[in-house]
Amino acid sequence: MDWSVIVMQLFTGLSLGMLYVLLALGLSIIFGLLTVVNFAHGAMFMWGAYAGVSIVAMTGNFWLALIAAPLVMGGYGLIVEKGVIRPLYGRDINYPLLLTFGLQFIMVEIIRIFWGTSDQPFTAPELLSMPVELFGVFYFPSYRLFLIGMTIAICIVLWFFLEKTNLGLIIRAGTRDALMVRALGIDMGRIWWIVFGIGAGLAGIAGVLASPITSVYPEMGIPMLVQCFVVVVVGGMGSLKGAIVAGIIMGEASALTTLFYPPMADIVIFLVMAVVLLIRPSGLFGRAGLLE
Amino acid sequence: MVDTETATVETHKEAAGQGLWSKVVELFSKHPLLFIIAFFIVFPFVVPYKALATQIIIWGLFALGYNVCLGYTGMLSFGHAAYFGVGAYTTGIVLIRLWENVWFGLLSGLVMGAVTAIILGYLCIKRRGIYFAMLTLAFAQLLYFIAFQWVDLTGGDNGLRNIPAVPLTLPGISIDIYDPLRFYFFVLFFVVLALLVLNRILQSPFGHVLQAVRENEPRARSCGYETSNVRWLAFILSGTISGLAGGLYALYLHFVGIESLYWITSGQVVMITLLGGMGSFIGPFIGAGVFLFLEDVLSALTANWMIFLGIIFVLCVLFFPSGVWGTIKELATRKKS
């Protein structure tokens, strides 16, 4: 097999890994601060994609969709947190999980009612539809390169936000010890609210970015959600570094198995997870004993 | 939950004879098994059609097994489709390829359910809480993808078809059990068996340790119990019953669909258990009844019936976290005081 095929597949794996990273970051940031496992994250990803489809259908502008869909989903996240998740704080940690599990059924059915069950067409903008030549040896879809670049940019913005702003400082402190932050006079309820919105917004942007390379259909979030759980478990729940590293590993593992032994492509990430958990039960970057 | 049940019984004793409602609840609490069994004997004659009754007790049995995990030991598994599906596939494959014997087929389903739970349980119980939930889900999806790819054995996407309607052999006679009513009582036999076995186990010291783990695991450990083994055993017990339920489902449909391993199946059993009420014997069956009856009614009205189930489930989590049976019990207790 030509090595350029392998390099090309590595790039494809990276672009898949980037989608995992975006979703896992949202899951992980919500979990780290709110201790809520958002089972509706896959459905929010799917809604993001449909929001993108609708905006493109209305305005014909992909770039507008890329900005507006995450905002819409972020707003939706704010409503969900205030409306149904907030009443469950202080109860057993499993209840938000169960609630979001029920919520995703509702979200999937709403899409089925208004858009039907068939695939929605979504093409990449003209500018990104041409393949580009990489290293002078192979052609790579420019949209996937854009996806990789966008994710890196989002990660940098997120890093900057968490490390260099006051709000980011509060969020990091809240992840360590929410009670202490509260004692210092900070309204953690508001912080939780904002963080849930950010997580939902990340799911929304992942949905728009994924649309041109996967098809847009009501159940598209389900396999994605399960794979992102695997990413988060492998990376270590609540660790953003873990989400990024594990997301890339899983994307590459999946892409390379697709190349060498396709029947294993769906299975390999679970095997990687089993191995990682046997060696490091708290994941690659997880803190042992966090919220068990 | 046994503790709360005894507590309820005592409150009932103090104020006996206050209304029919609480009397019924009291009797239920005192002799739950007897009443469940008596109820199930009448049950197929009161539901719209007998196949629905069969479906309800099969799902009830599955939820009963699941409840050992969630209700009695406090482990939220999101991957019980694995044991149900493996049980269903094993029973089906054994009947098609190996030996046309109902007993052997069901036994193999049950054993394979247990074996799967032994292996996956070993990996999953290393983690607790939500990690446990995500791990069980991920491993169940692993099995789903394997079954999906292994077309020669499982039929892949098309499912396992043409499971033979083998007559039930007892010493000296062989009975055709595929008449709806006969099949109902055939399933009921296993449900009662499972109820008796579970009742015995949960009232044993081991059963009390399970509940101790649910209430406060560090404390149970400091009392000298090897809690991870206890959790593993509960998980295996739960997987075994789920495997049996899966086997019965394969016999009932003469078919195993790939969706029996899908995570929606895992989710459905969580919903059933929560709707009915955790940690009781009757809860899972009430949950299965409510769920399947709603499905039956709503799916006739609209193709989007899942939205109603989703809404009911969300409302249930928000306002009635103890489920139908739990809420009935709470109401009965409140009336007294």
User: Domains, chain B, ranges and CATH?
Assistant: 2-336 (1.10.3470)
Q: Is the pLDDT of residue A65 over 80?
A: yes
Task: Write the pLDDT tens digit of every residue in A139-168.
Answer: 778 888 888 899 999 999 988 888 888 888
What residues of chain B lie within 8 A of the CB of A235, using their CB?
Answer: none
CB contact under 8 A, B317 and A95: yes
**Checking DSSP bridges between strand A138-141 and strand A131-134, what pairing results, if any?**
antiparallel
Q: Which residues pair with B175 in a beta bridge?
A: B168
Is pTM, for the whole model, over 0.80?
Answer: yes
Q: For residue B1, is pLDDT > 50?
A: no
Contact B267 A230 (CB under 8 A): no
Cβ B317–A98 below 8 Å, yes or no? yes
- Region B43-60: mean pLDDT is 83
- Separate counts of helices (H) and strands (E) for chain B: 16, 2
How many other C-beta atoms lie within 10 A of the C-beta of residue A203? 35
Which amino acid makes up residue A19?
L
For the segment B47-70, the average pLDDT, to the nearest whole number, is 86
Does A268 contact B at CB distance below 8 Å?
A: no
For B128, name the nearest residue in chain A, comparing CA atoms only: A292
Give ipTM to 2 decimals: 0.81
Of B245 and B296, which is predicted with more confidence? B245
Distance CA B337, CA B334 (A): 5
The answer to whether A40 and A196 are in contact (CB under 8 A) is no
CB A273 within 8 A of CB A233: yes
**In chain A, what residues touch B270 (CB-CB under 8 Å)?**
98, 101
| Cβ proximity of B284 and B66 under 8 Å | yes
**Confidence at residue A134, expressed as pLDDT on a 0 to 100 scale:** 67
8 Å CB contact of A99 and B146: no
- C-alpha separations of B164 from B56, B59, B102, B160 in Å: 23, 22, 10, 11
- For residue A221, which residues of chain B lie inside 8 Å, CB to CB? none
Instruction: Answer yes or no: do B138 and A102 touch at CB < 8 A.
Output: no
Q: What is the mean pLDDT of chain B?
A: 81
Q: What is the pLDDT confidence band of residue B337, given thresholds at 50, 70 and 90?
A: low
A230/B contact by beta carbon, under 8 A: yes
Say if A79 is an interface residue toward chain B (CB within 8 Å).
Answer: no
**Using CB atoms within 10 A of its CB, is residue B122 exposed (0-12), middle (13-18) or buried (19+)?**
middle
Q: CB distance B135–A237 less than 8 Å?
A: no
Q: What is the pLDDT of residues A195-249, one digit of tens each?
A: 899 999 999 999 998 888 888 888 888 888 888 888 988 888 777 888 899 999 9
Q: How many Å apart are CA B132 and CA B76, to the nearest integer?
A: 7
Interface with B, mutate which of A82, A106, A232, A268 (most B CBs under 10 A): A106
Q: How many CB atoms lie within 10 A of CB A271?
A: 13
Q: How far is A24 from chain B, CA to nearest CA, in Å?
A: 13
Contact B318 A87 (CB under 8 A): yes
Is the pLDDT confidence value at A288 over 80?
no
| CB-based contact B120:B75 (threshold 8 Å) | no
B239 close to B54: Cβ distance less than 8 angstroms: no
